[in-house]
Structure 1
Amino acid sequence: MYHPLPLYIGLRYTRAKRRNHFISFISGTSMVGITLGIVALIVVLSVMNGFHKEIQQRILSMASHATLTDPYGGMSDWREILEKVRAHPDVVGAAPFVEVQGMLVNGSQVSGALIRGIQPTDEDQVSDLRREMTRGSVDDLVDGEFRIILGRDLAAFLGVGPGDKVTMVTPQVSATPVGIMPRLKRFTVSGIFEVGMADYDRNAAFIQLADGAKLLSLGDAVTGVRLKLTDMWEAPRLAREIAYDLGGVYRLVDWTQVHSNFFSALAMEKRMMGIILFLIVAVAAFNIVSTLVMVVTDKQSDIAVMRTLGISPGRVMGIFMVQGTAIGLIGTLLGMVAGVILALNVEPVVGGIESLFGIHFLDPSIYYISELPSDVHLSDVIGIGAGAFLMSVLATLYPAWRAAKTQPAEALRYE
């Protein structure tokens, strides 16, 4: 059977038991280093993907995929707008809302909050507020009762619970005999919700839509309409289509614009962590350089004999490139397989470590989650494997070039 000479000899050198056991040890540690570096990189990036996915789900459980508002003031024709957008094939749900930045007061405790007026039945179409309720119900928001639902941390800061009273202070003002006064209204706390995100648990409150419209003197108008789309990742394109269908009169903002800074920061964090961890693979790959340099020194006489038999410098270079590439390829494949297996089973592995050592990595009272999320992306695995293999190949070039430059007479002088 025909075997390409550089491939045949290079693989034989890889399998052969060398006289110098230290070279074998360095070669083995290079392979193990590449494997461990790839495993660490795949697992860490998968866990970061899991955290990012968890954060996205929690944000989008309360935030709409797109928000439709009138840039010139309140939206008075919102009922007609609801009918039109709900007829769009890519709109799953739509709900009207009123929104204002205000202050909530209880005794000496004062806190700013984003106060949103909703219709409970319509709100179910665009958010998971009902599911996030820990005390009370969304249905307790009844027109004219002036009830309010607070985030868990906001309620704790104000020191209130269901049945207690809070005073809402809005930017609107009222003319009184004593002058211009901010508009105040007492609300009864009817429920508490918990999303697991400080933006909502600490800074958000919900009231009934009609109560909010009265408070803001909007009459029959609302601030806008919130939309839930069939594909959240296509929100920018779908939002433009819907805005165009409505004649371009209304302003439509999708979730990627509202949370662009936050998600850009998460993406940057993942990239930087990937670069830092890839240095582990780089160090292991550079160990291949030292391994092959020692192999070339150890095989000086063999190289000289091959050169005298007529093997070209290019083929000699190929022999040692094959040997180093084989080390990198085996380490890369082992790392990819082990990394994917560990990433898919990171939760039971972490649970076993916690049980064995009696520690707890994720305190639910701090992180809001008790399990380590993991989301393996095929693109990450392939990219990591390709990068590690390419680095291993590049690491073979200098030692292989040194081997090709060996002069037979010099190498055999003292043999």
Structure 2
Amino acid sequence: MISSLAYFIGFRFSYGKSQGGISSLVAVISTFGIALSIAVLIISLSAMNGFERELNQRILSVVPHGEFEPVNRDFTAWVSVLSKIEKVAGVVAAAPYIRFTGLIECDSKVLALQIKGIDPKLESCMSALSSYVTEDTWKNFLPNKHQILVGQGIINSLSLKIGDWITMMIPSCHMEDQILQPKYVRLQLAGILNLNGVLDHNLAYIPIEDAQKLLCIGNNITGIAIKAKHPFEADLLVRQVGEAMNLYVYLHSWIGTYGYMYHDIQMIRTIIYLSIVLVIGIACFNISSTLMIAVHDKRRQIAILRTLGANNSLIRSIFIWYGLLLGGVLGSLVGIVIGSLVALKLTSIVEIIEKLTGCHFLSRDVYFIDFLPSEVQISDVVIIFVTSIVLSLFASWYPARKASRLCPAQALSSQ
């Protein structure tokens, strides 16, 4: 009953008609500061969540989680090794690959690329490459057809279209201590990989059988790639697979090549959270100023409540509710609504701004995606709301304590 009474009186103090003057102005500023800070925090964290989602979907779904390459470059017995790798706990799939450097030439334009020879059937289990091209293209991506798949960035750089024939220059068959002229081959563009990011500028795939013939390596391969059940434990899994292979091989994981992206996202998320929480804290502690003014303005009401039998606990509870309702609850709810609505449409809003200004914020030549993603997570919203309420509670404590110690006689005599 006391709690309900304290809430009712605190609500009347917060939103009653008697609110006015400097107290009202400071209250509005504090509420606006809390709402703006929370909205910015939700938008920022949603953007970081979006980057993390795109990292998982566009990078970790395409690049191998682990790679194993023999030191002596002789890997003809890879079929038996492949079966050993697939038996290791935590390995979802494994597939052979051949990687080499090539120059693609088209209409006097030349571009250096990393060409990768893959087995389309095994690669479908290894990665999501097939989902970034049409279904018919992947089904028809077969050996002995002189086909190649390239990224959208390469298409734009060389002004290509599906069906075009391009010239690829590759090293000649390796001979010790001899410099040979490069080999020229003609390949037809069978499909386009569109990942909307930096991978579009260095991705090129051909069937693994064609790569073996072009490089004159017989049944040899460059290495074996794996897909991990838990990608963020790839380093440990790669070592376990290396031990199971019982071969002298180089060990690589995606964390060594693309892990910096994930660490950067986590670091920026932490910095943003700490910075905005400090801003929310400053805005919340403006509530203290509002309540101190309110305690001075409402001396008469406090004295009347004391003469009617209100104890220190009730007076303290009234002003704690006053602070929470005025700044914490109202500011937090307004900030959450605005921040969530903007975050849900952040990608579209940024696209509109880019069209209006003619400035592209994220270039696919530099970043792993060329748009600003966003993903609102309920857990972030709940944590932000609770943090704001707790800070508002701390900010309300001292003025509430001061109000509870106000002497009725002095309050009435000073009117």
TM norm structure 2: 0.77
1:168 aligns with 2:169: yes
Query: Does the CA contact (< 8 Å) of 1:316 and 1:404 recur in 2?
Result: yes
Structure-to-structure mapping, 1:388-407, within 5 angstroms: 388-400=388-400, 403=403
How many residue pairs align between the two structures?
Answer: 409
Deviation at 1:70, TM superposition (A): 2.7
TM-aligned CA distance change 1:405 to 1:239, over 3 Å: same
Query: Does the CA contact (< 8 Å) of 1:117 and 1:208 recur in 2?
Result: yes
Which residue of the partner structure matches residue 323 of structure 1? 322
- What CA deviation, in whole Å up to 9, does each residue of 1:306-343 have, x standing for no partner? 78999887876554334213334422662486368637
Deviation at 1:280, TM superposition (A): 5.7
Cα separation, 2, equivalents of 1:134 and 1:328: 53
1:287 aligns with 2:286: yes
Amino acid at match of 1:131: S
Which residue of the partner structure matches residue 297 of structure 2? 298
TM-aligned CA distance change 1:317 to 1:111, over 3 Å: same
Deviation at 1:6, TM superposition (A): 6.8
In terms of mean alpha carbon deviation, does 382-391 or 250-259 score higher?
Answer: 250-259
Which residue of the partner structure matches residue 380 of structure 1? 380
Which residue of the partner structure matches residue 122 of structure 1? 122
Structure 1 SS opposite 2:76:
coil
- What CA deviation, in whole Å up to 9, does each residue of 1:28-84 have, x standing for no partner? 554455345434432443344234313431223321233233344343321012222
1:100 aligns with 2:75: no
Structure-to-structure mapping, 1:357-372, within 5 angstroms: none
Query: Does the CA contact (< 8 Å) of 1:152 and 1:194 recur in 2?
Result: yes
Gaps of 5+ in 1: none
Which residue of the partner structure matches residue 50 of structure 2? 50
In terms of mean alpha carbon deviation, does 104-113 or 256-265 score higher?
Answer: 104-113
Amino acid at match of 2:225: R
Query: Does the CA contact (< 8 Å) of 1:102 and 1:171 recur in 2?
Result: no
Structure-to-structure mapping, 1:184-263, within 5 angstroms: 184-216=183-215, 218-247=217-246, 250-263=249-262
Cα separation, 1, equivalents of 2:25 and 2:251: 63
Cα separation, 2, equivalents of 1:232 and 1:226: 13
Deviation at 1:150, TM superposition (A): 2.2
TM-aligned CA distance change 1:286 to 1:17, over 3 Å: same
- What CA deviation, in whole Å up to 9, does each residue of 1:102-149 have, x standing for no partner? 433345422221111112222222123333236983455554555432
Structure 1 SS opposite 2:180:
strand
TM-aligned CA distance change 1:294 to 1:219, over 3 Å: same
Structure 1 SS opposite 2:221:
coil
TM-aligned CA distance change 1:19 to 1:113, over 3 Å: closer
TM-aligned CA distance change 1:78 to 1:21, over 3 Å: same
Deviation at 1:292, TM superposition (A): 0.9
Amino acid at match of 2:186: F
- What CA deviation, in whole Å up to 9, does each residue of 1:353-372 have, x standing for no partner? 97xxx979999x98899998
Query: Does the CA contact (< 8 Å) of 2:2 and 2:314 recur in 1?
Result: no
Which residue of the partner structure matches residue 156 of structure 2? 156
Cα separation, 2, equivalents of 1:303 and 1:20: 17
Cα separation, 1, equivalents of 2:372 and 2:157: 29
Cα separation, 2, equivalents of 1:141 and 1:18: 76
Deviation at 1:298, TM superposition (A): 0.5
Cα separation, 2, equivalents of 1:245 and 1:336: 54
Amino acid at match of 1:150: V
1:113 aligns with 2:113: yes
TM-aligned CA distance change 1:80 to 1:302, over 3 Å: same
Gaps of 5+ in 2: none
Cα separation, 1, equivalents of 2:106 and 2:176: 24
Deviation at 1:96, TM superposition (A): 0.6
Deviation at 1:172, TM superposition (A): 7.4
Structure 2 SS opposite 1:125:
helix
Query: Does the CA contact (< 8 Å) of 1:140 and 1:190 recur in 2?
Result: no
CA RMSD of aligned residues (A): 4.5
TM-aligned CA distance change 1:31 to 1:112, over 3 Å: same
TM-aligned CA distance change 1:63 to 1:33, over 3 Å: same
Deviation at 1:279, TM superposition (A): 5.9
In terms of mean alpha carbon deviation, does 232-241 or 402-411 score higher?
Answer: 402-411
Which residue of the partner structure matches residue 23 of structure 2? 23
Q: Percent identity?
A: 27
TM norm structure 1: 0.77
Query: Does the CA contact (< 8 Å) of 1:193 and 1:201 recur in 2?
Result: no
Deviation at 1:221, TM superposition (A): 2.0
1:270 aligns with 2:269: yes
Amino acid at match of 2:116: R
Deviation at 1:98, TM superposition (A): 0.8
TM-aligned CA distance change 1:219 to 1:78, over 3 Å: same
Cα separation, 2, equivalents of 1:317 and 1:72: 78
